[in-house]
Structure 1
């Protein structure tokens, strides 16, 4: 198995190479205009899913407008792969990735050193390993069994993921490596699509024995009586992953310098969304339900676990950053990560939050 450190960035690197040659040849359309601090931002997110619920809440509840900020386009533009988001940020087609993964920001920074993480959204790993009833009967294990026994029971099984080279596949690799196993040799990772219904269907039909997927896929499996959540970092099953920083928002440092008030307004709007999630988790999950089309029973089952996964402040936590860095290296997603201060701009978020109390 090749991880996306090596293969997913190749298309983006080629784009940069051809862009550079094009400019050198004198064929560019001219210099980009200097951005003004106009309280407007072109934004995008990776997907309409749980890690980016704060963005959906801020949009739905009008918190961007409350801070005098216009974000566009809405509905949010989706950049579903790391190379796509990287190219969009680098080229200026997107000014801020208001919903991206920290791992993705690491990858973008390898290509564009001007990229800075501005703030945090989700401070826990939202993926679960969910298994079928047949798997449980066959192994005699349950969700309360020791982690090592559960991981070793996955050997030889077909495990559904979004991508064999992304975070869902990386989670399987991480778990296997903890116990001296190799996911590329000791299991079969099967790409089953990137939405709840496709993942559940793959388990239901027996195409896979287990799923490595973001919430609320596991809850959907359970509410339909098809299986159980088997391994859940959010529930403390993997102590090494506690406090892992998952989703963030990031942009180029040059944009942050040219639009300081605009970016600070973004920080405050997302702080309001985070406060809303903590205060009204049931209403927040309804907003997620609106975008993901999960049923009421699944939404209710996921609500409490998800509530504890979101940050209480947008200011990036260095400890969570370090947990993610260790995960990415152990999972084989990256060979190295930048130091915290090299990629995280804590000053902007701190200044934005000084004296500000989110009222929701």
Structure 2
């Protein structure tokens, strides 16, 4: 498997850390768990921590760094400074490209939680128009993304491909970074006509009157892309074998948290703490969406993973990704 330019930094960092191996340096009964950020994808970890599920299941969490990028997350796994990484599937696939012992550990989010948002004065058909017409309306527009090689750029490429277009020539992609207020400011000021951005930016845009959710994979707007593995926890087979009891306890805790998010209305109080500063209406709008997005269990269905692998291949996020059975351990191959 070859890693694309989007994973070049990861490849370099992994190459420098590979000599350290991928075994765990943490004490027995403890896991160091890193994650990219405090995005919606990692809310299950917060719920499990706040409700004491990790301790209940018999594992202590040690270091909990927010790594910022998937490249740093993968490098930390390779060096042994963390045991598990919470990121997006892209991060696990890029790690696999350098270390084929990489494997998925738990499913967090099974829908693509990036949306296309347009400004309130956007010149195009409404959000209830056929998908092809909405995609055509984005031609020639300035579209804000977090940066090159990101999942936000990949979504634009994916939908443009459906209409035979190329965002490199048929739109102007504007790199805005990952700061939600800055992205919303760019949309409101007219710096961009649309955003391809992760939740809760779409909900915040609507709650504050800045924009409208125009194309949403998680809403089912893109046929064949309704369910796709996105937010995940991953590790290496060496760590799983060395810390088998701790990893199993972690998985049980996450499964309890996933169930709570899907079924317990009181979880919205935790979401308010987790996403401090989000508009109250935006949070209320986000909660039922998250209930649908969070995985019903920690396993990975073949359809969901293969949809994601095809997306990564088509958009160039990862070149020649592994197959379902190569990245998903046998005990997590769900039949749902």
Length-normalised TM-score, structure 1:
0.87
2: CA distance, partners of 1:118 / 1:171: 25
Q: Are residues 13 and 103 of structure 1, via their aligned partners in 2, closer, same or farther at CA, if it must alter by over 3 Å?
A: closer
State the match for 1:116 in structure 2: 103
User: Which of residues 3, 11, 14 is equivalent to 2:12?
Assistant: 14
Question: Structure 1 residues 317, 225: CA separation in 2 closer, same or farther (over 3 Å shift)?
Answer: same
- Of 39, 46, 49, the match for 1:59: 49
Higher Cα Rg: structure 1 or 2?
1
Distance 1:200 1:19 in 2: 37
Inter-partner Cα distance in structure 2 for 1:33 and 1:126? 32
Q: What is the CA–CA distance in structure 2 between the aligned matches of 1:316 and 1:328, rounded to whole Å? A: 17
Matched residue, 1:283: 266
1:310 maps onto 2:294 in alignment: yes
Q: Which runs of 5+ in 2 are unaligned?
A: none
Q: Which residue of 2 aligns with 1:353?
A: none
The corresponding residue for 1:44 is: 34
Gaps of 5+ in 1: 351-360
Distance 1:199 1:32 in 2: 37
Partner of 1:343: 327
Deviation at 1:196, TM superposition (A): 2.4
Q: CA–CA distance in 2 between the matches of 1:283 and 1:155?
A: 42
**SS in structure 2 at match of 1:241:** coil
Matched residue, 1:354: none
Please give the TM-score of this superposition, normalised by the length of structure 2: 0.92
Q: Distance in 2 between matches of 1:19 and 1:266?
A: 25
- Residues 189 and 284 of structure 1: CA distance in aligned 2, closer, same or farther (over 3 Å): farther
Cα displacement (A) at 1:239: 1.3
The residue aligned with 1:105 is 92
Q: Tell me if 1:89 matches 2:87.
A: no
RMSD across aligned C-alpha pairs, in angstroms? 2.2
Q: CA deviation at 1:214?
A: 1.2
Residue by residue over 1:297-325, the C-alpha shift from the partner in whole angstroms, topping out at 9 and shown as x without a partner, is 11001111121011111112111001101
